[in-house]
């Protein structure tokens, strides 16, 4: 280099034409690393959420199978004493349970045996008792379902779906 060459050029002898050059291999490696980091981070949060949900809900006995004839319902609280819930022995013989709060503005829903539906008295919301799906009225979301297990003589609440 000549004597007129600035000092910074001798300290950093990189030509401007090669300064921003990134090979396809380097770029691919960068993409793989960023994608892998994003996937790992997302996976961590998904696993953490499932683990938190599993820990949050206790297993609780909510009724004896002998308590409820088909077409009848029982109120209980789950997962805490401040969470009203409803267990229904459907006319077809199956059992289902839901949070008892309407998904519109949280009024308590009631079971109607004649139609196998849950009805909300506040604004006439109607839910299918077998699925919790909205059949009419202002609610847009189905009732959160409480997962249950029917044992020999007891019915257990295990957790909540769609809360
Ligand atoms: S609170 Fe149930 S329909 Fe409005």
Closest-lying ligand 1 atom to the alpha carbon of residue 109: 2
Q: In this predicted structure, what is the pLDDT of residue 71?
A: 94
Q: In this predicted structure, what is the pLDDT of residue 20?
A: 67
- Residue 47, CA atoms < 13 Å, CB-side half-sphere: 6
Whether residue 52 sits in one domain with residue 40 = yes
State the burial class of residue 50 (Cβ atoms within 10 Å of its Cβ: 0-12, 13-18, 19+): exposed
- Residue 1 in any domain: the answer is no
Domain final residue pick, 36, 56, 76? 56
Q: In this predicted structure, what is the pLDDT of residue 13?
A: 75
- Residue 143 in any domain: the answer is yes
Closest-lying ligand 1 atom to the alpha carbon of residue 123: 3
Whether residue 68 sits in one domain with residue 35 = no
CA dist., res. 139 & res. 159, Å (int): 23
Whether residue 150 sits in one domain with residue 111 = yes
Whether residue 68 sits in one domain with residue 48 = no
Q: In this predicted structure, what is the pLDDT of residue 3?
A: 67
Whether residue 71 sits in one domain with residue 45 = no
Q: In this predicted structure, what is the pLDDT of residue 96?
A: 97
Whether residue 64 sits in one domain with residue 42 = no
**Does any ligand 1 atom lie closer than 6 A to the CB of residue 139?**
yes
Whether residue 148 sits in one domain with residue 91 = yes
Ligand 1 pocket test, pick from 86, 98, 100, 107 with the greatest ligand atom count within 8 Å of Cβ, gives: 107
- The whole domain housing 139 covers 60-161
What's the total number of domains in the chain? 2
Per-residue pLDDT 10s for the chain (163 aa) are 456 778 877 887 777 666 667 778 888 888 999 999 999 988 888 877 766 655 679 999 999 999 999 999 999 999 999 999 999 999 999 999 999 999 999 999 999 999 999 999 999 999 999 999 999 999 999 999 999 999 999 999 999 987 6
- Residue 111 in any domain: the answer is yes
CATH number for the domain harbouring residue 117: 2.102.10.10
Whether residue 66 sits in one domain with residue 51 = no
Q: In this predicted structure, what is the pLDDT of residue 53?
A: 58
CA dist., res. 65 & res. 139, Å (int): 31
**Does any ligand 1 atom lie closer than 6 A to the CB of residue 89?**
no
Whether residue 51 sits in one domain with residue 112 = no
Q: In this predicted structure, what is the pLDDT of residue 104?
A: 97
Classify 90 as helix, strand or coil.
coil
């Amino acid at each position: 280099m000549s004597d007129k060459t600035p000092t910074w050029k001798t300290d950093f002898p990189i030509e401007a034409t090669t300064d921003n050059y990134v090979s396809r291999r380097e770029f691919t490696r960068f993409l793989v690393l960023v994608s892998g980091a994003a996937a790992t981070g997302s996976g961590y949060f998904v696993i953490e959420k499932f683990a938190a949900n599993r820990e949050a809900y206790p297993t609780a006995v909510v009724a004896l199978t002998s308590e409820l004839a088909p077409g009848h319902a029982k109120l209980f609280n789950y997962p805490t004493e401040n969470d009203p819930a409803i267990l229904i022995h459907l006319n077809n013989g199956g059992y289902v349970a839901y949070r008892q709060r309407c998904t519109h503005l949280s009024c308590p829903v009631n079971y109607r045996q004649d139609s196998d539906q849950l009805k909300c008295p506040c604004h006439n919301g109607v839910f299918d008792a077998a699925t919790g799906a909205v059949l009419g009225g202002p609610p847009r979301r189905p009732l959160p379902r409480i997962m249950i297990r029917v044992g020999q003589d007891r019915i257990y609440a295990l957790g909540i779906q769609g809360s």
